[in-house]
Amino acid sequence: MKQIIFLVGKEKHIDIVYMSYTITAYSKRQAKKLGVIIKRSTNKKKKIDVFKKVKDKDGKMKLKKLHSIGAISYGDFPTFTKTKGKEFADKRRAAYKKRHAKNRNIRGTAGYYADKILW
pLDDT tens digits, one per residue of 18-36: 567 899 999 999 999 999 9
What pLDDT was estimated at residue 6?
52
- 67 neighbors 49 (Cβ within 8 angstroms): yes
Closest CA to 22 of 118, 86, 90, 119: 118
Helices in 8-76 by DSSP H: which ranges? 25-34
Scored b (16 or more CB within 10 A) or e, 81-91 reads beeeeeeebee
Residue 48 identity: I
Distance, CA of 90 to CA of 94 (rounded, Å): 6
pLDDT band at 14 (very low <50, low <70, confident <90, very high): low
pLDDT tens digits, one per residue of 51-93: 999 998 898 999 999 999 999 999 999 999 999 999 999 999 9
Q: Is the pLDDT of residue 10 over 70?
A: no
- 90 neighbors 36 (Cβ within 8 angstroms): no
Q: Is the pLDDT of residue 4 over 60?
A: no
